[in-house]
Amino acid sequence: MKKEADNTTPTIADTITKSKKRTRNVYQLKPKPEPEPEPWFTIGDIEDIQFREYEVAEIRASLLKWYDINQRDLPWRRIIEGEATDDDEIDRKAYAVWVSEIMLQQTRVQTVISYFNLWMDKWPTVHHLAQASIEEVNEVWAGLGYYRRARFLLEGAKMVVEEGGKFPRSVSDLRKVKGIGEYTAGAIASIAFKEAVPVVDGNVIRVIARLKTISANPKDKATIKNIWRLAGQLVDNHRPGDFNQAVMELGATLCTPLSPSCSSCPVSTQCSALLKTKHDSSALVTDYPTKVAKVKQRHDYSAVTVVEILESEQGTVSISDSGSKFLLVKRPEEGLLAGLWEFPSVSLNVKADLVTRRRAVDDFLKNSFGLNVHRSSNIVSRDEVGEYVHIFTHIRLNMYIELLVLRSQDLHRKKNKGLMTFKYVDAKTLATMGLSTGVRKAYNMVQKFKQSRSSLISR
């Protein structure tokens, strides 16, 4: 019979407190009792699932031993390892955890390493970051994606400094900082401040789902809440930060979504999913957690015009871009790629031909900059460059790219202020700006187009 919902499910804090009372020494294991007959076949509601006391002790000891030997050498771990001797050093550890965890959200570890090193060289403390501008932050972040994360880091740093410059020491206080959610707060609190609190990300969900053969939808809010509860039972009271990193490391390196290395897993003897495969030939460890249908990718289309402005009346298009400036417009402060600079672009409802795209671009340039393309005698050239498909999490964006070369007076002569924020930058400045991958790709395609055209002319 399904257990009726009530208010007796222990909170994470209650679970942690009880765990502290039960466990005196995590490395002194009690004799393992005889298991009940094949409990992995009769798992009930996830609300009823618990880790037994001996399981908790075994998992803690096995995982920490494995982590001590096999943990990856990562730059943020070099900062947080060892005992801190003063508040400044503790805060530096908290800052390193914060930056690394935000960067690692939906981004591969190998990609993050160089970005983290560059970031920490430029802003070694939260005080340094608080003095930065959003343009500087975006410049360092460029190419890492999900730019909202960078903005939250900057805004959060300003909050911490405004509140006295010291990192909050508890999960509840960390949650008050802009951009720090439940996961990041748990990571900072456990790793930097040794608070015995759990963290739950995709790796942790997968590990716990396999340990307890949990078939519930891993994206469901109730399931996630219960995974947090189970993670709270497991977290080691003496080394909470190391334990949380060990679980995530296990999920990232061995207990992977499609090819788990069960023979090398330090907690394989506690894994109900693995045990089930030995009794059921049709069962697979990868059956857990339950596969969830991916959100269907939305198809968007945009016409991107790289507007190059020649500085002299007699200017000609060149490969080097010397003597040229490019028109950039700033995206709205909310939404996708908020606040970033890009080439003038127009969203299209559907896939469109060249005539339709140019008509939309012409209207945009006229309404935004007072430029009437059809009446202008100062257009040097206008060429279709190509198409680039840029993939976001749930969006497939087809970018139709063209190059429009103008003599300087066309746009310098008319500026309709108030419609949008725009500016002119030279090629050297463009190369150092924090541009999105899509914008950078559009510029590179234009450069290749110029080179190709120059080669044809020289023949």
Give the model's pLDDT for residue 337.
81
In whole angstroms, give the CA distance from residue 316 to residue 287.
62
Give the model's pLDDT for residue 29.
46
Give the model's pLDDT for residue 388.
92
- Give the pair of three-digit tokens for residue 51: 């880790």
Give the model's pLDDT for residue 2.
41
DSSP 8-state class, residue 329: E
Is residue 289 reached through a cis peptide bond, with omega within 30 degrees of 0 on the bond before it? yes
Give the model's pLDDT for residue 21.
38
Instruction: Evaluate the CA torsion angle 12, 17, 23, 26 in order and state its sign.
Output: positive
- Judge contact between 435 and 342, C-beta under 8 A: yes
Residue 200 phi, psi dihedral angles, 5° rounding: -135, 115
Helices (H), 280-377: 354-369
Distance of CA 13 to the CA centre of its chain: 27
In whole angstroms, give the CA distance from residue 4 to residue 373.
69
Q: How would DSSP label each residue in 192-246?
A: HS--------HHHHHHHHHHTT--S-TTSHHHHHHHHHHHHHHS-SSSHHHHHHH
Verify whether residue 162 is a known catalytic residue.
Answer: no
Give the three-state DSSP class for 302.
Answer: strand
Q: Which of 81, 83, 89, 101 is catalytic?
A: 101
- Give the pair of three-digit tokens for residue 239: 């080394």
Q: Does domain 298-458 have CATH number 3.40.1390.10?
A: no
Query: What are 347's strand-pairing partners?
Result: 302
CATH level 3 topology of 13-287: Endonuclease III; domain 1 (1.10.340)
- Judge contact between 343 and 439, C-beta under 8 A: yes
In whole angstroms, give the CA distance from residue 259 to residue 106.
19
Counting Cβ atoms within 10 Å, is residue 298 exposed (0-12), middle (13-18) or buried (19+)? Answer: exposed
In whole angstroms, give the CA distance from residue 344 to residue 299.
20
Where does the chain hold its CATH 3.90.79.10 domain(s)?
298-458
Where does the chain hold its CATH 1.10.340.30 domain(s)?
13-287
212 torsion bin: left (phi>0), alpha (psi -120 to 50), beta (else):
alpha
What global pTM score does this model have?
Answer: 0.79
Reading the chain (459 residues) residue by residue, the pLDDT tens digits are 444 444 444 443 444 444 433 333 444 444 555 444 344 333 457 778 999 999 999 999 999 999 999 999 999 999 998 787 788 999 999 999 999 999 999 899 999 999 999 999 999 999 999 999 998 999 899 889 888 999 999 999 999 999 999 999 999 999 999 999 999 999 999 999 999 999 999 999 999 999 999 999 999 999 999 999 999 999 999 999 999 999 999 999 999 999 999 999 999 999 999 999 999 999 999 999 999 888 888 899 999 999 998 876 554 555 555 678 999 999 887 777 888 899 999 999 899 999 999 999 999 988 888 888 877 767 889 999 999 998 887 889 999 999 999 886 555 444 455 557 888 899 999 988 888 889 999 999 999 999 888 766 655
Give the model's pLDDT for residue 458.
59
- Judge contact between 133 and 145, C-beta under 8 A: no
CA distances from 209 to 204, 248, 259, 271 (A): 8, 13, 16, 9
Q: How would DSSP label each residue in 4-63?
A: PP-S-SPPHHHHHHHHHHH-S-TTSPPPPPPPPSSGGGS---GGG----HHHHHHHHHHH
